[in-house]
């Protein structure tokens, strides 16, 4: 759970349901054991062919869902430093996953960690250059990027969501695992290898 405390900013405390030795269920302020479930598992199950957008936090994932209403927007538990404790296997076989990190160094590391895992599970994995996106002014031109800028900030600032989606798409770059000399080609939603895939532009959100 997230707590916004005066003077201390946002803080998170995991609240999970446990069964004690008597068989009784009790809530505890304690993290679930690894690997931990993803936020949004129900939507992943309901829409097995949908594009997936991975964000760092729940607030960002909810904002991303409004920006990309036809995609499934999820997050991993524990924040930027706990990406490797999540169970990413529900994304196995997904055709396209895009990672939208916060615009800071921990966000960049989070995206690399998640992409490294997903490159062995999903067909196409791309990372948004969050700092470059944060440098684009919704009114046109460039600006100084704000640290930790994320999807929630984007939703507040951009009135034209179609323009925002285009900016995001243009700044999503294919992930290159360290073992590869070159990254994959930019994902092409009209590729003849996936003509049976749903209309990507419509499925992506517009």
- Tens of pLDDT, residues 15-64: 888 888 899 998 888 877 789 999 999 999 999 999 999 999 999 999 99
Is the pTM higher than 0.75? The answer reads yes
**Residue-wise pLDDT tens digits, 51-106:** 999 999 999 999 999 999 999 999 999 889 999 999 999 999 999 999 999 999 99
Q: 35-204, what's its fold?
A: Dna Topoisomerase Vi A Subunit; Chain: A, domain 2 (3.40.1360)
Reported for 107-111, long-range contacts at CB under 8 A and 24+ positions apart, including other chains, are 107/56, 107/80, 107/148, 107/150, 109/80, 110/56, 110/80, 110/81, 110/83
**Residue-wise pLDDT tens digits, 149-206:** 999 999 999 999 999 999 999 999 999 877 655 666 666 665 433 333 334 444 455 5
Q: Which residue has the tokens 């129900």?
A: 42
Domain ranges of the chain: 35-204
The Cα 39–Cα 126 span in angstroms is: 20
**DSSP string of 50-99, one letter each residue:** S-EEEESSHHHHHHHHHHSTTSEEEE-TT-GGGGGGB--GGGTT-S-EEE
């Amino acid at each position: 759970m997230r707590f916004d405390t005066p003077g201390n900013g946002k803080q998170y405390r995991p609240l999970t349901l446990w069964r004690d030795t008597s068989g009784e269920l009790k809530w505890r302020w304690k993290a679930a054991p690894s690997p931990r479930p993803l936020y949004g598992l129900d939507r992943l199950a309901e829409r097995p062919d949908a594009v997936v957008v991975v964000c760092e936090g729940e607030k960002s994932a909810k904002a991303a869902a409004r920006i990309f209403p036809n995609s499934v927007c999820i997050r991993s538990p524990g924040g930027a430093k706990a990406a490797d404790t999540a169970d990413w296997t529900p994304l196995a076989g997904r055709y396209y996953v895009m990672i939208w990190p916060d615009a800071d160094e921990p966000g960049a590391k989070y995206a690399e960690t998640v992409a490294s895992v997903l490159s062995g599970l999903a067909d196409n994995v791309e990372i948004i250059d969050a700092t470059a996106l944060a440098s684009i002014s919704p009114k046109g031109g460039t600006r100084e990027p704000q640290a930790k800028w994320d999807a929630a900030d984007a939703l507040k600032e951009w009135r034209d969501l179609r323009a925002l989606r285009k900016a995001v798409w243009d700044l999503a770059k294919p992930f290159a695992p360290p073992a590869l000399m070159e990254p994959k080609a930019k994902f092409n939603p009209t590729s003849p290898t996936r003509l049976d895939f749903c209309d990507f532009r419509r499925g992506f959100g517009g």
